[in-house]
Amino acid sequence: MRPLIDYHIHTLLCNHAEGSMESYIRSAINLGMSEICFLDHLTIQKSEKGLSMAPGEVSYYFQAIQLLKQQYKKAISVKAGLEIDFNPDYTDLFQEITGTYAFDLVASALHFPGGLNIVSGSSAWKHGENDTDYVYGLYYEQLEKMLDFSYFDVVCHMDLVKKFGRKPSRSFDKEVNEILFKIKRKNFCIEINTSGYNHPVREAYPSPDIIAKCHKLGINITLGSDAHTPAHVGQHYDRALPLLLSSGYKHLTTFTKRRRSKIPIKQPKMIIR
């Protein structure tokens, strides 16, 4: 079995994914993967309902993965992760949850900077509203604030604000560089998220330029598809893996009970979606 991983897979609990947890596992096995991590949403936004599991469902989610770990242990390593959507009003709760359950990986993401929806197809941001420079500035300001906390291990899709292809009129290189320096200082890992190839921006998160900067700084990376359907497990790895190798990366980071290991990056012989 080839050392290929997908560290960002969702479940029905997020209320906007399709398929059983077992169907995602079987899809990964069929692709010859050695390891996957369920990384479903925990989002608390008063203005946005039904976008993730509720805090009270975390226990069920965690235990379901433990059962699947045992069921499929001879075929694939199944890891338990949580994608927490940063909200500065709930960091105490996030710290409590991550301290209660023995997750293999905890990731943090920013989908609602200042409460503004920058991800949904129905959002004003997608449809051209809001000042572009202001939203980019707000996004990176909140992302930098997120890094003040330490209840997570991985930063997900760190330039997600570009999702719908809207480009600012000025450079945000200074803000991005400061964020990368802080990520390095705090020893966080960055996720390479291939779902961006499906979005109007048509590139991975983060961009090739940011990935090159990450390598130069010695920031560790992991890899995930952000699959919301079993057919998207391992999507666009045929693009992402050559990009990582050309950027100088030779290893991906994996996690077990939040302890890190490394596996080599190898171009797969099988066809990756």
Query: How much is the average pLDDT of 43-68?
Result: 90
d(CA 196, CA 272): 16
**Reported pTM:** 0.94
In a domain, 158, yes or no: yes
In a domain, 38, yes or no: yes
Burial zone of 199 (CB within 10 Å; 0-12 exposed, 13-18 middle, 19+ buried): middle
pLDDT of residue 2: 59
> Of all helices (H) and strands (E), which one includes residue 190?
strand 189-193
In a domain, 221, yes or no: yes
Q: What is the pLDDT of residues 147-174, one digit of tens each?
A: 999 999 999 999 999 999 999 999 999 9
8 A C-beta contact, residue 244 and residue 3: no
Q: What is the pLDDT of residues 173-213, one digit of tens each?
A: 999 999 999 999 999 999 999 999 999 999 999 999 999 99
8 A C-beta contact, residue 102 and residue 108: no
Number of domains forming the structure of the chain: 1
In a domain, 269, yes or no: no
> Which CATH number do you get for residue 198?
3.20.20.140
In a domain, 227, yes or no: yes
d(CA 23, CA 15): 16
d(CA 178, CA 175): 5
In a domain, 49, yes or no: yes
Identify the domain containing residue 39 by its residue range: 5-264
8 A C-beta contact, residue 170 and residue 132: no
In a domain, 271, yes or no: no
- The runs of H, that is alpha helices, within the chain are 21-30, 58-71, 91-100, 132-146, 173-185, 208-217, 237-246
In a domain, 176, yes or no: yes
Binning pLDDT at 50, 70 and 90, where does residue 269 land? low
Q: What is the pLDDT of residues 233-267, one digit of tens each?
A: 999 999 999 999 999 999 999 999 999 999 999 76
